[in-house]
Amino acid sequence: MTQILDWLLIFFGTIFSFYSFKRICFQKNCSVSNFIICIVYVFCILPIMLNYFIGIPEYNTVYWYKVFISSMENEAISCIYDLYIFFSITSLFIYASKFKPKDTRNDKFMFFNSKLFSKIIVLSPLIYILISGTLKNYMVYNTQSLRGFDINNSSYFTNLMALIFLSLFSYYSSFFKKEKKKKSDYIIFILYNFLIIWIVGKRFIFANIAITILYYLSQLDLKENIRKKIFKLVPIFLMILICFSGLYLKVVRPLSDTSFDSIYEMLRVDFGRDDVIKYTIEKELIQNERILEYRGETMLGLLCQIVPRKIWPEKPYPHYMYLTASLLNVSIFKLPAGTTPSYYEMAISNFGYFGIIFAIFTLVLLCYFADKSRSIDTKYIWTMLIVVLLTQSMDIYIIYIFIYALCKILEFMYNLKKIKI
């Protein structure tokens, strides 16, 4: 039964993601759900396919992930997982199929209309590095810890990443709105992306930039031949990203064991969320053991993320801390590392069985709210927030929520004639 459900998920998931990818490339102002379908396919369905072609990882390199093996090999858990992801991606696909593209405003948020202010925002990560006196640490390309930063003091990196996401948003929202681009614009485009990639030093920024570029391109009035090129180039870029990730683990941040099995395990950790979802299904639904202290704990923390901990000392911590603590069976304050969560497992941890229905429904609802936006930029923020919700921890992406909230306030005031553009 497990193999039948696995291959049904793989078959329909591949079809759904293919048609969604075609809509992204050839349909202007397509639904945000098309991007989400492709993300679900890469992180939740492609790993199931790899289980058959390469095998379930043994996690010898990352030994603390060995706890995943029992849940990944359990047939009952695999069946629940397959049905969970299948109904989710099917719901998203049905919604995307019924969505009718709307005209979006090709404008910028009001406080980015100032050219001087916009340039300061774009250069803010570099300015922050210069002011903090850490420029010497960036003479080599590597992760923050291997550049000599204190990983226990995360405030510097959190602030830097907030400025980087703000910079990316400001730069791309202005670059893709230029009707006529000069050669110098494209040279600056390449240099800017190289600088951001160098500063971050982690692979996720490649995917972040790729999604951003693909999103803005999908919103433009492009010729058919250009759209065909995009359709062909994106899969090639995805393969390059995977190859670079393998090279990164072998050269930039070399593992103690650089064999194929070791690199495959690490790539599964980076690009797969099936392991954490199945682990949560086993803990919460099969063994009836709680990952969180109470239901809705980290959902509450996520919604109240902007509330300072000084005001609310008992505010829940990011979800990945509770997940990792459960994996290692230690306190959340004694974590040696972090495990990347997924909204699918987060919903189950917070709401148990009801979390499955909750996750499926809210993902479609979030896509609906995103599609209601008539602004290209607001729609982009919604897209990135949903993508991050499915693949990463939300803590460093809170800047997007601030941007969205501030711009809605400005838009409201503008409609009341309280301010002028």
Does position 51 have pLDDT exceeding 60, yes or no?
A: yes
25 vs 339, higher pLDDT: 25
Q: Of 167, 100, 94, nearest to 129 (Cα)?
A: 167
pTM for the predicted model, two decimal places: 0.85
Average pLDDT over residues 305-326: 81
pLDDT at 2: 80
Does position 396 have pLDDT exceeding 80, yes or no?
A: no
Q: Phi/psi of residue 375, each to 5°?
A: -100, 135
Q: What percentage of the chain carries pLDDT values higher than 70?
A: 84
Contacts of 94 (CB under 8 A, 6+ apart): none
DSSP 102: -
Q: Of 376, 386, 407, 410, nearest to 176 (Cα)?
A: 376
Give the distance from CA 283 to its chain's centroid: 25
Lowest mean pLDDT among 10-24, 161-175, 402-416: 402-416
Q: Of 342, 349, 340, 344, nearest to 359 (Cα)?
A: 344
Q: Rounded to 5 degrees, what angle do the CA atoms 125, 131, 133 make?
A: 105
d(CA 33, CA 13): 14
Single-letter amino acid, residue 27: Q
Q: Of 314, 318, 278, nearest to 81 (Cα)?
A: 278
Q: Answer for the pair 108, 122: CB distance below 8 angstroms, yes or no.
A: no
349-392 pLDDT, tens per residue?
Answer: 999 889 999 999 999 999 998 888 877 888 888 888 888 888 87
141-193 pLDDT, tens per residue?
Answer: 776 766 666 655 567 777 788 888 888 888 888 888 777 778 888 888 889 98
DSSP codes joined into one string, 315-329: PPPPHHHHHHHHHHT
- Please, which pLDDT band fits residue 108 given cuts at 50, 70 and 90? low
Q: Phi/psi of residue 225, each to 5°?
A: -65, -35
Residues making up the chain, counted from first to last? 421
397 vs 384, higher pLDDT: 384
CA-atom Rg of the chain in angstroms? 22
Single-letter amino acid, residue 365: L
Helix (H, G, I), strand (E, B) or coil at 340: coil
DSSP 43: I
Q: Of 128, 95, 151, nearest to 363 (Cα)?
A: 95
217-260 pLDDT, tens per residue?
Answer: 888 777 888 888 888 888 887 777 777 766 666 665 655 566 77
68-83 pLDDT, tens per residue?
Answer: 888 888 888 999 999 9
DSSP 281: I
Give the distance from CA 202 to its chain's centroid: 13
pLDDT at 360: 94
Single-letter amino acid, residue 128: Y
pLDDT at 246: 66
| Strand spans (E) along 156-206 | none
d(CA 72, CA 286): 13
Average pLDDT over residues 137-142: 77
- Please, which pLDDT band fits residue 419 given cuts at 50, 70 and 90? very low
Joined tokens for residue 335: 């974590």
Joined tokens for residue 264: 């495959």
pLDDT at 112: 55
Average pLDDT over residues 86-113: 76
- Please, which pLDDT band fits residue 106 given cuts at 50, 70 and 90? low
